A and B are shown apart, each in its own frame.
Chain A
Amino acid sequence: MNCSELVELVTDYLEGSMPAEQRARFDEHVSGCDGCTTYLEQFRITIRLTGMLSEEQVEPATRETLLGVFRDWRASA
């Protein structure tokens, strides 16, 4: 496994969807390669930053509208 192959396998690695033998070769490569260690770390940071995007609230007007939707449905049911 060389570096250009490894970068295509990072998600498989992080998902735990690699055969054990391939995983061992991945680990072995990373432990001896600063570039791939950094790449793997950047991938993890990227995932963490992406996870910081979802901090949204429901707007009060939307809440009101949807409550109306529910009451209409209940009245017609």
Chain B
Amino acid sequence: MSDTPSGAATEQDLALVRALRAGDETAFMMLVERYQPAMLRIASMYVSTRAVAEDVVQDAWVGVLKGLDGFEGRSSLRTWIFRILVNTAKTRGQREARSVPFSSVWAAEPDVEPSVDPDRFLSLGHPGSPGRWAEPPVGWASTPEELLLSKETLAEVSRAIDALPPNQREVITMRDVLGWTSADVRNALDISETNQRVLLHRARAKVRRALEGYLGSGRERTS
């Protein structure tokens, strides 16, 4: 029962739910410590301001408490909580939509842009090596660790993620920032495995490109 490959609730989840139903404050605050930061980060993707995001998360907690009696353990407690959160945030985001311009591009996004600028490859008509790197990336091994792991570099990563289309931002935030599994993300967002992977790849490719621009392609250093 504790081993739940299908993503159902664990014994620990069920014990927590029983404690919450019994009115155990400590159990609730433990959940808050565990999930509040991630919930805030996710809510922020759907609404215009941090204040509204905090409000959304609070509403989601109310929804969680009110829904406890209906929790049947078919999904993990975390998946269930984040589904409530995402629904709450989306509803609020739609209500805000008239004043938030980016919401209009949410659904339609013909994202076929390549991971790497096509000019960096030899053309597909090249006689010798079609599609081979013409301008290969220069490794970051020569980048000092202090720069690579600096606050400034992380701020660049953060900016790159903020600039992503919303659906890509959702997936990379859940997978790579919060460290969820692909099953967690599929459950929370109700998207297919393939869709999840495509969005994740687009997002990672853009963040890598931003880092390459920020850290320098290396050409300046080597020549």
Q: How far, in angstroms, from A58 to B66 measured CA to CA in the complex?
A: 22
Q: Which of B32, B66, B137 contacts A42 (CB 8 A)?
A: B137
Residues in B with CB closer than 8 Å to A66 are 28-29, 32, 36, 58, 61
Q: Is the CB of B211 within 8 A of A63?
A: no
Q: Which of A12, A39, A45, A58 contacts B197 (CB 8 A)?
A: A12
Interface size class of B (residues with CB under 8 A): 35 or more
Q: How far, in angstroms, from A30 to B166 measured CA to CA in the complex?
A: 32
Seen from chain B, the residues whose Cβ lies within 8 Å of a Cβ on chain A are 23, 25, 28-29, 32-33, 36-38, 40-41, 54, 58, 61-62, 65-66, 114-116, 118, 121, 124, 129-133, 136-141, 148-149, 153-154, 157-158, 161, 172, 176-179, 182, 193, 197, 200-201, 204-205, 207-208, 211-212
Seen from chain A, the residues whose Cβ lies within 8 Å of a Cβ on chain B are 2-5, 7-8, 10-12, 15, 17, 33-36, 38-39, 41-43, 45-47, 49-54, 56-58, 62-63, 65-67, 69-71, 73-74, 77
